[in-house]
Amino acid sequence: MTSPGSNPRVPPAPGSNVPGSIPRVLPHVPSIEVEAVSFAYPEGTRALTDVSLRIEPGETLAIVGQNGSGKSTLVRHLNGLLRPTGGRVLLDGADVRPVHVAHLAARVGLAFQNPDRQLFAGHVSAEIEFGPRNLGIRGAELAERVALALAAVGLESVATANPYDLGYSRRKLLALASVLAMRTPVLILDEPTTGQDARGVARVQDVVARAAAEGRTVIAISHDMRFVAECFRRVVVMRAGRVALDGPPSAVFAEAAWPELRASYLEPPLPAVAGARLGLGATPTGGAVVAALAAGPRNR
Amino acid sequence: MSMTRLPDYVVRRPSGFYRSTNPGTKLVVAALEVLAAFLLPGWIGPAVVLAAVLATAAVARRLRGLATFGLAASPIVGSILLVNLFLLPGASDPIARLGPLAPTWSGLWFGLQTVARLLAFSSAIALVYLTTTVDDLLADLSRRGLGRRAIFVVGAAVQMVPLTIERAGEILDAQRARGMDTEGRIWRRARGVLPLAGPVVFGALTEVEERTMALEARAFSAPGRKTLLRVPRNGRIDRFLLWAALLALVALVGIRVAGRLG
Amino acid sequence: MAIELSAVRYRYAGASVFALRSIDLRLEPGRVVGVVGANEAGKSTVCLVAAGLAPGVVGGLLEGSVRIDGVETATLRPHELAQRCGLLFQNAATQLSNTTATVFEEVGFGPCNLGLPVAEVGDRAWWALGTVGIEKLAPRDPARLSGGEGQLVALAAVLALRPKYLVLDEPTSELDPAGTSLVAEALGRVARETGAGILLVEHKTDVLARIADEVVVLERGAVALAGAAAPTLADPRLAELGVEPPAAVKLERMVREAGIEWSAALAEAIR
């Protein structure tokens, strides 16, 4: 599933998520600035209030929070699906407001939570082709992208199947592959691990790790604190449309932040709790607990 | 814990003029009005019906809602007027000459009459909607013996509309996020029909099986009569109005058919 | 007194392979049995078969025996099954009837279908709402509930039929952590207070670690592991079977594998 053949005819696309290989052309990864963004839905529901974030190129960022806290609304601003009612969203310093979503989609990919809101094609490969085709990709480049995206989520064996004959978890991986094939320098995943078994979660973790290794920006919305703590370098906690916490997992899951987490209806992952009980300091992951214990003498 | 009384919000009946009238009665009255708007000749039908509907709506304090319906109908109203004004076949009494266009008096009158019929017909139906909740209507139909499957289909269809609109919005977003052009030229947008219609249809189909099973798991197909928690008012006035409307309806149709035949 | 599946094989209509190849399973009143397994191992199918909807409602071919309190499910009609075994799916939205104005009436929908007297419907609705702990939601519009609330209402709606058994297919998979906790607590309470037997398919093994008495692990349509919850969830073969072990099990394993001496203090901290 590695080593893409050279393909001189087609100009390199922005970004490349070739699994297991060095991308041929490093994508230009934009910085993202969310400046004091507020958003109210037309019927008046206020979903975001004064949200400010700066996301550097290549960051891995997890957004957590209760349902309805504004996570999905926030990421829909990053690819222009929603336009802020107050504040601005900038890609590389340029306001995205005048840019068509179809153009932003080439730079910011977004995989939705529910695959059944997007799958339509008669077979799996055609479904994956849809995004790259919209970006003008054709021919050998297209075929290669489809093959690599299928490999990245482990669906090679069902390339010709009808998406609706796949189970929910595989439909969800297919929706992920269909966005991966667009090779966007920014990748946003909305609840990528829900409904996945251990192998599916490992697939998703692998996708995140590879995209990050290629220098792309990866943003994920998730309820899975273990996934968040292990795969992301930065965590943003949303509560009632505002940013409640923002920092590395070691800070956001540290004991000092627990009251704020619980006010946001979240629980820290077990390693963080265990580390605090053992007086090990901030240990957001199992690995961190083991490292702190191994560094022993335990001063408890 | 025994609280045999049903909560107020279930047993409470709607109050206020016409709003408290039995839903089935309102449905028959509306049917009468719709027929009258079309079957009574000339201006009489639409004028009588519009007057009746507006008066009822005014006393029931639903004029504002009715006005919204009127506004929503305005594009259709406008186009009917324009088409008839300029293009009524056989009309030869021009109001004025505007280059190649010749609006006619008979076109204007015919257009106005058509619009009046349309407004009378739609406002009669709108008034039922504005003065009745779907649940009360379903409960009344159920009380009157409509089968539970029919009730379920009607109720679910009504409630599915907002759900489907919401789902379609999300599907549109998902495909735009994959680079589908919905802001560019028309011909590019037309290509987006399948990616949008596909998930709406497939999504609904995959849900049907789950819905069916969930219903069966709640004894939906149990034999016998279903218990009704919500029992709409059906007093003497409601029944009188119902029978009066039914008689008028039969009379109207009878006169019309006889008129045709004779 | 139990739901018993013995030597069950099941194939969906039109399918060439058996979704269930060999299932033996027993669910007794008052017990919570967790079912885990990789995707497409047959978990949802087990739910449909145990609740009697497959093949009764969805068709297909069933071999072996599925009995509820000694009665073969094949001989029972759907509304009779519904009073013995309640069934709950992952998506709250598809389980609500879409025909009721309030949560109270939604919960009363099942008893109304049975044609019970109004007073009895009222009693059952209040009882079910109280058992799940959502009396407060009673006046609300079912179409305007959050995912967690919707799932609790769906649970109460099934409970109102007073089934002795409940079969739940990933009831928390669409929920946030707070919603998951609410549903898990409600299920624990239902098992304790109503004596119902609960068969719970759940990816989140942490939920099972909290409320399950037994755990069954499926692999390609057959039972691969089964036993008391704690040892089964700590079984080293779990990961090979595509199941994420509970957080505490994973952490203990990491610590031990790193060669760190296990101690009472560690056990106390990682629970």
Contact C89 B225 (CB under 8 A): no
Inter-residue contact C108 to C115 (CB < 8 Å): no
Query: What pTM was computed for the model?
Result: 0.84
pLDDT at A204 over 80: yes
The pLDDT score that the predictor gives to residue C271 is: 82
Asked if C108 reaches chain B (Cβ–Cβ under 8 Å), the answer is yes
pLDDT at A6 over 50: no
Contact B227 C98 (CB under 8 A): no
Q: Which CATH class is domain C3-270?
A: alpha beta
Per-chain mean pLDDT for chain C: 93
Q: Which of C102, C113, C126 lies at the smallest CB-CB distance from B1? A: C126
B129-173: pLDDT as tens digits = 899 988 888 889 888 888 888 888 887 777 777 778 888 888 888
Candidates B178, B188, B193, B208: best to mutate against A (most CBs of A within 10 A) is: B178
The pLDDT score that the predictor gives to residue B261 is: 62
**Cα dihedral C174, C176, C180, C183 in deg (nearest 10):** -70
Q: Identity (one letter) of the amino acid at C49?
A: V
**B14 DSSP 8-state letter:** P
Contact B178 A105 (CB under 8 A): yes
Contact B194 A120 (CB under 8 A): yes
Alpha carbons within 13 angstroms on the beta-carbon side of residue A212 total: 17
Chains that touch A (3 or more CB pairs under 8 A): B, C
What percent of chain B lies above the pLDDT cut of 90?
A: 30
Cβ neighbour number for residue A300 with a 10 Å cutoff: 9
Q: Which residues of C touch A278 (CB under 8 A)?
A: 265-266, 269
The pLDDT score that the predictor gives to residue A7 is: 40
Contact C146 A293 (CB under 8 A): no
Q: Which of B7, B210, B212 lies at the smallest CB-CB distance from C91? A: B210
- What is the arithmetic mean of pLDDT over C112-127? 94
The pLDDT score that the predictor gives to residue B119 is: 92
β-partners of residue C37 are C218
β-partners of residue B98 are B101
pLDDT at B241 over 90: yes
C141-182: pLDDT as tens digits = 998 888 888 999 999 999 999 999 999 999 998 888 988 998
Contact B178 A182 (CB under 8 A): yes
The pLDDT score that the predictor gives to residue C112 is: 94
Name the residue ranges covered by the structural domains of chain B: 22-132, 141-217
Residues 140-179 in C contacting B (C-alpha not used; CB under 8 Å):
143, 154, 157-158, 161
Inter-residue contact A91 to B170 (CB < 8 Å): no
Q: Name the pLDDT band for B201 (thresholds 50, 70, 90).
A: confident
Q: Classify C121 as helix, strand or coil.
A: helix
Per-chain mean pLDDT for chain A: 89
Cβ neighbour number for residue A143 with a 10 Å cutoff: 14
Asked if C89 reaches chain B (Cβ–Cβ under 8 Å), the answer is yes
Q: Both tokens of residue C110?
A: 């099942």
pLDDT at A22 over 70: no
The pLDDT score that the predictor gives to residue A2 is: 38
A208-227: pLDDT as tens digits = 999 999 999 999 999 999 99
What percent of chain A lies above the pLDDT cut of 90?
A: 79
Q: Name the pLDDT band for A3 (thresholds 50, 70, 90).
A: very low
Name the residue ranges covered by the structural domains of chain C: 3-270
The pLDDT score that the predictor gives to residue B191 is: 65
pLDDT at C93 over 90: no
A33-87: pLDDT as tens digits = 999 999 998 888 899 999 999 999 999 999 999 988 999 999 999 999 999 999 9
The pLDDT score that the predictor gives to residue A17 is: 45
The pLDDT score that the predictor gives to residue B102 is: 83
Inter-residue contact C106 to C159 (CB < 8 Å): no
Q: Which residues of C touch B6 (CB under 8 A)?
A: 104, 118, 122
The pLDDT score that the predictor gives to residue B150 is: 85
* ipTM score: 0.82
Q: Name the pLDDT band for A285 (thresholds 50, 70, 90).
A: very high
Taking the C-alpha atoms of residue C271 and residue C266, their distance in angstroms, rounded to an integer, is: 9
Per-chain mean pLDDT for chain B: 85
Q: Name the pLDDT band for A12 (thresholds 50, 70, 90).
A: very low
Contact C113 B148 (CB under 8 A): yes
Q: Which of A167, A201, A277 lies at the smallest CB-CB distance from C244? A: A201
Asked if B167 reaches chain A (Cβ–Cβ under 8 Å), the answer is yes
Best-predicted range by mean pLDDT (A221-225, C13-17, C52-56) = A221-225
Residues 255-294 in A contacting C (C-alpha not used; CB under 8 Å):
265-267, 269-271, 274, 277-278, 286-287, 289-290, 293-294
The pLDDT score that the predictor gives to residue B186 is: 61
Chain B positions touching chain C (beta carbons under 8 Å): 1-7, 9-10, 133-135, 138, 148, 151-152, 155-156, 159-160, 162-163, 207, 209-230
- What is the arithmetic mean of pLDDT over B204-209? 75
- What is the arithmetic mean of pLDDT over C240-266? 93
Q: Name the pLDDT band for A97 (thresholds 50, 70, 90).
A: very high
Taking the C-alpha atoms of residue B254 and residue B59, their distance in angstroms, rounded to an integer, is: 32
Chain C positions touching chain A (beta carbons under 8 Å): 37-40, 90, 146-148, 170, 173-180, 203, 239, 242-244, 247-248, 250-251, 254-255, 258, 260, 265-266, 268-270
